[in-house]
Amino acid sequence: GDARELGLRASRTACFGLITAGNLRGFFFLGELILSLGAGMTVKFFPVFFDVRCHEDPATVQIVFASLGGIVAVGTIIFNWIAKRVGRMQVVIPCFCIGVTCTLLIGSLRSFYTVPGVMIPLFILRCSIMWSTSALKGSVIADYTPKAQRGRWKALESIAGMGWS
């Protein structure tokens, strides 16, 4: 029953064996810490970026931000459906990589800042992919964090959460 399930879970690996059940929680914490300190400090300023650097009108920026909620809801449904077929980590890790790549592209494609057909889709893709998989990531974290350590990890998450404020 439960002991066998825990034994099987402990022997699983992801990312070609680099991520194991033992270091999964630390891997996610480190990723969240980096993201919250980086993106948490910049996401608030995306409307300014779109105004000053991309020369987008405020109505377009508001439409983009208003549409993100619906896009994330649909993305969450789609990614949950895919995760049931291929596995949660097999969805979370590629989505994380795509989201980070989109963030890097937004920062490095300066010559395309005034091309809304490039910057806006990159931003929408970045936000929707990163935000749509947060529930899947949370469920993986809950499954692989021993109950005795959950309080400790929640306290560490509060440090990462400071980056979003």
pLDDT tens digits in sequence order for the chain, 165 residues long:
555 555 555 556 655 566 666 677 777 777 777 777 666 556 778 888 888 888 999 999 999 999 999 999 999 999 999 999 999 888 988 998 898 888 889 888 999 999 989 999 999 999 999 899 988 988 887 787 778 877 777 777 777 666 655
What pTM was estimated for this model as a whole? 0.75
Map residue 118 onto helix, strand or coil. Answer: helix
Cα separation, 144 vs 151, in Å, equals: 14
Give strand ranges (E) for the chain. 13-14, 19-20
